[in-house]
Structure 1
Amino acid sequence: MKGMTGRGAEVAAGGKGTEALRAVGYVRVSTPRQGERGISLSAQEAAIRTFAGCMGWDVIDIFHDVHTGAGPDSFIERKNLLEALKLAQAENAYVVTDNWARLTRHEDTSADIKRLFPDTDRLVSIKEANTFTEAARLGQIARAEAERNEISRRTKAGLARLKDQGVRFGNPNILEAQVKGAQAITEKADAIVRQIADVLRSQERHHSQLTCREVAELLNQKGVRTGQNLEWTTDRLHPKLRKARAILDAEQVSYTNDPLYGAF
């Protein structure tokens, strides 16, 4: 605890920040189909619970939204985000999200968030491993909005080029649908990797002590399937297991390097 400053020192000392040893989670997907599948939502929720557990925070509740994070109206239209911020403010708790893009893809939303939840040092992103205050300073919120705008721009430009080439679309939004389809596939693949990481995280033995074959058998026993709903073999598992191990290794580094690590 020597040399600790700011909120970490305050909490560790049992002062005003003591009540903040709790967390409210927030997860979001963009489309109803993603929400119905629940893959991304469950992966985000698992990440939040694991992170909070490592930090020693009790999770009061986790709120879900199925809504875009883009545009100036996305904030007021996401009722569960509003409820999450209000509850965390009332309970003096942290708000934890998997990444800043889940919270917002529109930079102007920052002012709305601060209005309901002024202490943005208690808004935490797992993936970026920083607070909302730091993210705003580093431009990560603006970058999330810029990435979304660039995807939209490329989609429209691609449609325009194909139209100029005389391509007729049975569905005028076919290219945009293809882009969204590719994003959904990527998101599903990422969710499966997170599922594998969750299973490894729950084992008594460190993941490095488990062979690929042992992990495949473990996943099959637990009913975790591939993206094609097949049982795991070592060939199918190897590339995703490598990514899952990387997630766990990165988490360990992130937790041990966090200024709050060990304070509780």
Structure 2
Amino acid sequence: MKVVAYIRVSTKGQGDSGLGLDAQQDYITRAAQQNGWEIVGTFVDVASGKLAIEDRPEGAKAIALCKEQDAQLVVAKLDRLSRSVHHIARLMEQTEFKVATMPQAKTFELHLFAALAQQEREFISGRTREALAALQSRADAGDAVAVQKVKNRSDALAKGRAVADITAANNIRMTNIANAQEALRPHLESCLYNKVNTLQSVADCLNAKGLRTARGSEWAPTAVRRLMIALNVSF
């Protein structure tokens, strides 16, 4: 069975789901090996889960390739597709999909899992709002403990805004990295055209051209692997 790998890192940071780029890739690669899937393409988005996959740049390309290759979409975890049942239901109308951590689950079963997860999030959100309203009411009445808790929460929100600023800077950095990787595409393809067929030989070829990684280091097999995944290029 052909599959198209889709990896998403949230704008909140790679730790959002406990899965960064490499971890998601490893989950998908392992599931493909264990289930006999042929990965015909890999797409990576840096985007919020609030957006439907077809509204994300690389997500739209992944769906298009699924249709072109008659392939199924595969993600490491269900929330890498979306946290919205509506979005997942809409995706079901466009393509079938698999989850690497639940490779035997059918699309309809995954839809049910998403519905249960959304219901739980909404329940927790409602209880949190009620608890915060009760806390504010006690603080307004002069409860010293409640007043301190409200202050602590306010301080935490201020810290969160600072983190959001850092996240925005990280997003710019990720965009710059993507642009730098794209600029390396012709050099990478030139190396592959010369029939190099190992990660080390590609690294040697790029180093011989005087090229460096985004961090200014010489190329190593691991860095080449990441570049090839990012550019959806293979031997």
TM-score bucket of the superposed structures, by smaller chain: 0.5 to 0.7
**Equivalent position of 1:42 in the other structure:** 22
Distance (Å, rounded) in 2 between the aligned partners of 1:147 and 1:65: 26
For residue 47 of structure 1, report the CA deviation from its aligned partner: 0.3
Give the 3-state SS of the residue equivalent to 2:13 in structure 1: helix
Listed as ranges, the matches of 1:164-243 within 5 Å are 164-166=137-139, 167=147, 168-169=150-151, 172=154, 174=156
- Match 2:70 to one of 89, 92, 97: 92
Q: Give the aligned CA root-mean-square deviation in angstroms.
A: 3.3
For residue 88 of structure 1, report the CA deviation from its aligned partner: 1.3
Matched, 1:147 2:127: no
Contact 1:65 1:80 (8 Å CA) reproduced: yes
Contact 2:3 2:73 (8 Å CA) reproduced: yes
Listed as ranges, the matches of 1:1-264 within 5 Å are 21-34=1-14, 40-70=20-50, 73-117=51-95, 120=96, 123-129=97-103, 130-136=105-111, 139-166=112-139, 167=147, 168-169=150-151, 172=154, 174=156
AA of the residue aligned to 1:145: Q
Give the 3-state SS of the residue equivalent to 2:24 in structure 1: helix
For the structure 1 residues 76 and 126, does the alpha-carbon distance in structure 2 shift closer, same or farther, using more than 3 Å as the test? closer
**Equivalent position of 2:224 in the other structure:** none
Cα distance per residue 1:47-83 (max 9 Å; x no partner): 001111122223222222333324xx53443222222
Contact 1:35 1:66 (8 Å CA) reproduced: no
For the structure 1 residues 106 and 172, does the alpha-carbon distance in structure 2 shift closer, same or farther, using more than 3 Å as the test? same
**Equivalent position of 2:201 in the other structure:** none
Cα distance per residue 1:140-162 (max 9 Å; x no partner): 12112223323433443343233
For residue 177 of structure 1, report the CA deviation from its aligned partner: 7.7
- The count of residues paired between Structure 1 and Structure 2 equals 150
AA of the residue aligned to 2:78: W
Distance (Å, rounded) in 1 between the aligned partners of 2:80 and 2:72: 16
Unaligned runs of 5+ in 1: 1-20, 182-264
Larger radius of gyration: 2
Contact 1:125 1:131 (8 Å CA) reproduced: no
Distance (Å, rounded) in 2 between the aligned partners of 1:151 and 1:31: 22
Contact 2:3 2:40 (8 Å CA) reproduced: yes
AA of the residue aligned to 1:56: G
AA of the residue aligned to 2:72: Y
**Equivalent position of 2:189 in the other structure:** none
Relative to the length of structure 2, the TM-score reads 0.52
Contact 2:54 2:63 (8 Å CA) reproduced: no
Distance (Å, rounded) in 2 between the aligned partners of 1:56 and 1:115: 25
Contact 2:10 2:47 (8 Å CA) reproduced: yes
Identity percentage of aligned residues: 29
AA of the residue aligned to 2:25: E
For residue 35 of structure 1, report the CA deviation from its aligned partner: 7.3
For residue 108 of structure 1, report the CA deviation from its aligned partner: 1.4
Relative to the length of structure 1, the TM-score reads 0.47
Unaligned runs of 5+ in 2: 140-146, 164-235
Distance (Å, rounded) in 2 between the aligned partners of 1:141 and 1:173: 33
Distance (Å, rounded) in 1 between the aligned partners of 2:151 and 2:30: 46
